[in-house]
Structure formats: structure tokens, C-alpha cells
Structure 1
């Protein structure tokens, strides 16, 4: 039978010598097989994890990149665990998040980056800003009530979608956390697709979305509702004096803000060249004619310091002694020869932790490590190569600030636990 089956296939039976050779090769192969796992003298070494989740694979593009991105999460956010990934793997990746992000930061970043838009409302006097209510991924309850200004966001599930040109507000958030200031509200970059939003918000452009703090303290004055307290420039400079009077005797929110809060704000604003808070009139540099402070004829008031006021001085009801930094996009292209040193006027000391980070020479690398977490921003800027010029600008301003501190014999103060 065996011979007949070989003949049907047109093959010849192998010669005895050939069979012997094949048998010898088979035995040789068997002797080189690895022993069963229980016969190893030592356990197999564990694979070394990559230094960060960004080195796991080469950058992806298109739909594949979108489907393979690791969401921002911690072990407290297991409800958004992607299918097919083990819980152990998820926690190991979560442990690689930069240490300057708190669990609360990561939860809010997750909500902003992946939450479903379920309602929207316009923000009065801010035509290009939408406040949206977000539903966390994995939640089945849908609350589609309109996002009215009367208090629908008290549960902390809302965010402000801002203009594409405000995208650097995301960088500002990361700078704030890297320096250990912890005064900015969480912000991420995102492309929106919700049918609830106007087309200009869903055309594929990248926009920042900033967490909406539900308990910001606002003045009841409709013309000055972007402040927790009314503070003029002369009054501000007086309260910065070492033995100056307490600010605004009858103004509880302002009097609760300690001296060191202004130091944090001044350092932050100088690095980003944010003028809107401490110098909205552009008195500290010669503005171009196209600057809003010139077009709105604010710059003319620099001749009378008594008319100058501070803007966006905000605190939260839950923490009235801590400033909240909002509208932090700053001026990444502001020329170095026009840096606004007026932002530092009256400040005689700075937070030691932030100064140490600036002195370390690692500011750029720390910011890159932080910005990698926001994959939408990272990819839109072509990664490290695209972001490096901007980070070099921030780094040069940091070195100028350090020189300023040295030349003016300024001191540092210890950061209190948060």
C-alpha cells in the first residue's frame, strides 16, 4: 500500500541511505531543543520596560495612530481601559506619567481629552469661546440639559473650548506643572467632531479645551467680572512693599492673597510674556500699532498710573489665598529685545523650586517629557523637532530671568506643601 501511494503522487521512495541521513538530522535537532521551563537553572529575566510609552513603537499616522493612542489615565481611571490590554500593562504605563501631574490633573485631562460633548453654551462677552458639558467615557447616563450659566457645571464636568490661536495655553499648563507652581487649570489640545458644535469647531482644527473651575470668585460688576477683586496698579505696587499695608482693607478676596502668590504669577507671566494680567496697557514695552492695547487706546493711559488696573486676578472660593492663572496663551513670538520687565516690578523673591528648575538646565527636556502626554498637540507640532524652537524661546527667557534675579540681589522662598 505504501508503495502504491507513493507511485500515485509521482514520487520515488527514498533510498535507505537517505533515510539514515534524515534520521540523524532529526536526532541532532532534538538534542538542541531548549529544556522545558521548569528545568531552567534561573528564572527568565524580565523585559525592561521602555523609558516612556512613546518609545513602544514608531509614530503612527492616520486612523491607525488614532486607534492605537494610549489615553491619559492613572490606575484610578480604569473605566477607560482599552480592550485587549491587560490590567497589569495598563498600570505599568500609567506609572510612567510625569510625577508633576497629580491624580486630579490626570482625571481632568482624561475628561477634557475624551469626554463626550453633551451640551454647550456661549460665554457672555467671549464670542469665540464655548463652554461645554462633558460626559466621561464609559458612563451610560446622559444628561443633555443645556449648559446654562446658572450652575450646571458645579460637578466639575465642563470645559472651555477656545480659539485655535490660543493653543499655547496647553503649553502654559505644562510649564506651570513642570515648575511646580500648580496655579493653572488643566488644559489639553483636541479636535472636535460633536454634531452639537458649530462647523467652525468641527472642521478639523486643533483647539485648546480648558477645565472649567466651578467655584471661581467673580465680582458682581458686569464690567469687571473677570476679577475676584478690584486692584489698581498703584495699590498693587504698594502692597508688594516689604512693610506695605494689607491690600484693599475692605476687600476680602484681595486681602487673602499672600505676597508669594504674586511672585509665582510674575515669574510665570514673564516666561510666557502674558501681559493681560499685570500690564494689559503694554506700559512695559513699546507695542506695535496692531496690538490690542494700542487699537483700544489703552496704551495712552500709561501716562497716568492711577488709571491702570490689573485684570484676570482670580481665586477660587474653595482656596481664596491661591491665585488661579487663566488665559495663559501668552506671546511665543514676542521679540527678546522687547521683553516686558514691568511684569517683575515690585517682586523681591521667587519660589525656590521653580528657580531651581530654571537653573538645572533641564527645562526643555522636562517640558518635552510633559508635552508628550498630550498626543494631539505633540503630533500637530511634529513632535520634539517642531516644539524645540518654542521651548528654546522659553529657555532663553528663563536664563534672562535668572540673570535679572542675580543682578537685583533677589531672594527665593520655600514652597509650602500643596
Structure 2
């Protein structure tokens, strides 16, 4: 029998020839394929593996090309083109990535007017036109005179002259025209944060405030050493009691009287005390909510000083003013307790004015002062809705970016974010309190 051709060539089987040809073609094709993308350490990434049913998320994840903006804010990076590799180069140089919650149309290093305030053509809706005008006056106004404030050794009242004023600057004029401000201590910068918090929550009871560095030769050196200080707008028509020992009130109101007023849903039963009688009942809910978010008994200037200046709602440290001044002992006799900084303006006597908002919210949750909420059975609708929305920190970050002096001094978004997280956490604790006590919300009164 003649041998078959495949045996004479030494091959064991025709299929082996085909296999060798296929392998050669495959190797040739691989040399022309693009290289696989590598991970951070030069290794090819692992293929995506679908999660098992036990690890599936509770809700489907949004597609990457869908912008989720529950706060109604501008989607991150919308309208902004970044060159390839730019983000990596910024990280390598140690520069923080731009915050997706803050529009940044302004650039640091321009004129002084641009550096102090940054609106960039977009003004947050929670800041009114009147707020903007007062902020511009405080940030840019020339200091033309100064005066001390009685009983406030480290506070200066200054008169300001803004560009475009028709009247010439006159140091002799008083502050009745609304052209003055109070310069406070560098440690009181939190008053600027409190102003923006007030506006974001829709309370609208704090006075406009900005952070500013001063260089005027008429100011003491301690005010011009380069440290930013808060400058608070001076409201010329705030009503004060004639009693020099109690001039930080528009009306005299004791704790028991205040609680009875809240229980009876009426005004304070004080004969001839028209200032207290004119305050709308909903104002106390605004004040309690604001002070609860800002409280911090660890600092010398305390927001709880309005409703609980005696520290009756928590156990104070021995070094705190309410202990050093022996105020805490009066907690045993509630009839001796009074409220302070209860102020109204003659132009709007039905609304409270929030001043001295320099507390710093660093108090541990176990020591929060719930006495500030005692007797309050309803809270303002807009503020509660903002706390529930989860947008408080996001909106507040945008608002604070308007004040470039504050933004820069606090380290920008990275430096401010821990503080905003504390405020958001306080808001959640307050919402839980509302739910546990079955409290209600009320319609807001006009600005």
C-alpha cells in the first residue's frame, strides 16, 4: 500500500498543520493590537465583574452622563472644559481640586475691590439687593472716623465712605444714615459665617457682615497688622433700654415670663413694655433654631448667651464666664434668670435682630444645650425645609465664597468643610428633636 502524503512529510496529522497556521496568524495579529490601558502601578485593570445578587445596591446607580442636582445647583463642571492631564498636574503640585459646589468666576490677585467680594455676575438668591449693597459698603468703604463702644473694649465703631457717595466724608457725622460698622476681634470671624447661615436658612434676622483686612492710618496698629477681622453693619435704629446696666436689650424679659408667653401663645404680659409686646411669636422659633445650630459653651462669646446666659442647660467648665461670674448659681432660682440681646429695630419692631453671633459649633453632641429649644412648639418652614433637603452645606459653601477675605483666611472649601459638616449634623439632630416632640412648622414672615 502506498504511503499517504502526510506521512512522507513527517507530520503526524493534517489538523496539526492548520493549528500551526492559526497560531502564527494569531501571534501576527497581536503585534498590531493597541496596548491595554494600565492602572496606577502599570498593571492592566481587572475586568469588570457584575455584582452578585447579595451585593446589589438598593437603588440603581445613575449613569455617569446624568447630572444629579437635588439642591437645584449647577451640575458639577458644567460648561467648563479642562485640558487633558490638567487635574493630574494640579494634584501632583498639591493644589486642591476645584469644589463642584462652588462657581469660581473670580480670580484671586486682582484689584482690592475684586479680592474682598466675589459675585462674578451670579448673586445667590438668598442674598437680597440690600444685603449686597451693605456688604459692598463694609468691604470697600473708606474708614473716615472711629469711636469706642461702651462696655466693649475690643470693638470699634467706624464710619465708612464709599465710592460714589454724593456727600463728602465727614468724621463728625453720626451713624444715623447707616454708613457705619463695628470692627470686632479676629476670633469673631465666625460672625460672618453666621450671617451667611442666617440667609441660607431664610431667617433674615442677622446684620450683614464681611471679613476685612484694614490699613487705615487712623486705626490702632492691632487693627492693621494684616489679620482679617469681622466688620458688622451698624443698624442705626436698634432700640435699647435706657438702663445702662441692661442696654443690650430692647425689653426686659425674664425666663419664667418668656416660658409663660410661649405656653399661652400670647405676648409678654408686661405693662407698658411695648417692645416685647410687639414681637411676633414666630420670632422665638427662629431665634431658638439659629442659636441651637451655633451654640458652643467652650468659647468666651457664646450664642447661648441670649436664651441661657447662665448655662442652665448644660454643665459648664469652671473656666467659663457663667462660672467665673457666678451666674450658674442662679439656675437654682429661675425667677432670677433673664434673657439678653433681645433686640428689635424701631423700623420693624415685630422682628428680632440677631447680634453677637460669634459662637463656634464645636460642642460635643452629648453636651448640646436643648434648653434653648424649651417651650418652642413650632419652627420656621423655610429653615426646616433647608435642613431636610440636605443642601445646607452646599448652599453655605457657595455663599461663603462671595467673601474672598473669609474664604482665603479659612483655607477655602477644604478648610470650611469640617465646620459645614458640623452644622449639617446639628441640623439633623434638630430635625430628630422636631419629630420626637411632634412639633410643627409655620409659614415665614416677610424679610
Bin for the TM-score computed over the shorter chain: 0.7 to 0.9
Deviation at 1:245, TM superposition (A): 6.1
The aligned counterpart of 1:123 is 149
Deviation per residue, 1:253-273 (Å, 9 max, x gap): 000011100010000000001
Deviation per residue, 1:127-183 (Å, 9 max, x gap): 000000000024475433246xxxx10110000000111110000000000000000
Deviation per residue, 1:302-354 (Å, 9 max, x gap): 11110000000000000000000000011322222111100000000001110
Q: How does 1:288-327 map to 2 (within 5 A)?
A: 288-327=317-356
The aligned counterpart of 1:110 is 136
Q: Does 1:155 align with 2:181?
A: no
The aligned counterpart of 2:442 is 413
Q: Does 1:55 align with 2:104?
A: yes
Q: 1:68 to 1:308 in 2, by over 3 A?
A: closer
Deviation at 1:408, TM superposition (A): 0.2
The aligned counterpart of 2:271 is 249
Q: Does 1:393 align with 2:393?
A: no
The aligned counterpart of 1:372 is 401
Report if aligned partners of 1:284, 1:342 keep a CA contact under 8 Å in 2: yes
Aligned-partner Cα distance in 2 for 1:410–1:301: 30
Q: 1:283 to 1:197 in 2, by over 3 A?
A: same
Report if aligned partners of 1:238, 1:245 keep a CA contact under 8 Å in 2: no
Report if aligned partners of 2:312, 2:328 keep a CA contact under 8 Å in 1: yes
Q: Which has the larger radius of gyration?
A: 2
The aligned counterpart of 1:234 is 256
Match 2:230 to one of 208, 218, 223: 208
Q: How does 1:213-224 map to 2 (within 5 A)?
A: 213-224=235-246
Report if aligned partners of 1:381, 1:387 keep a CA contact under 8 Å in 2: yes
Aligned-partner Cα distance in 1 for 2:282–2:267: 15
Report if aligned partners of 1:117, 1:135 keep a CA contact under 8 Å in 2: yes
Q: How does 1:180-195 map to 2 (within 5 A)?
A: 180-195=202-217
Aligned-partner Cα distance in 2 for 1:116–1:245: 43
Provide the secondary structure at the position in 1 that maps to 2:304.
coil
The aligned counterpart of 1:36 is none
Report if aligned partners of 1:281, 1:299 keep a CA contact under 8 Å in 2: yes
Q: How does 1:93-104 map to 2 (within 5 A)?
A: 93-94=120-121, 96-104=122-130
Larger CA deviation: 237-246 vs 304-313:
237-246
Aligned-partner Cα distance in 2 for 1:352–1:52: 24
Q: Any unmatched runs of 5+ in structure 2?
A: 1-77, 82-99, 296-302
Deviation per residue, 1:189-240 (Å, 9 max, x gap): 0010000100000011111000000000000001000000000000000000
The aligned counterpart of 1:133 is 159
Give the number of the structure whose residues are more often helix, by fraction: 1
Report if aligned partners of 1:236, 1:247 keep a CA contact under 8 Å in 2: no
Deviation at 1:69, TM superposition (A): 2.8
Deviation per residue, 1:18-66 (Å, 9 max, x gap): xxxxxxxxxxxxxxxxxxxxxxxxxxxxx96899995336x54xxx355
Name segments (4+ residues, structure 1) moved above 6 Å: 49-53
Q: Does 1:143 align with 2:192?
A: no
Report if aligned partners of 2:156, 2:182 keep a CA contact under 8 Å in 1: yes
The aligned counterpart of 1:284 is 313
Larger CA deviation: 217-226 vs 325-334:
325-334
Report if aligned partners of 1:359, 1:402 keep a CA contact under 8 Å in 2: yes
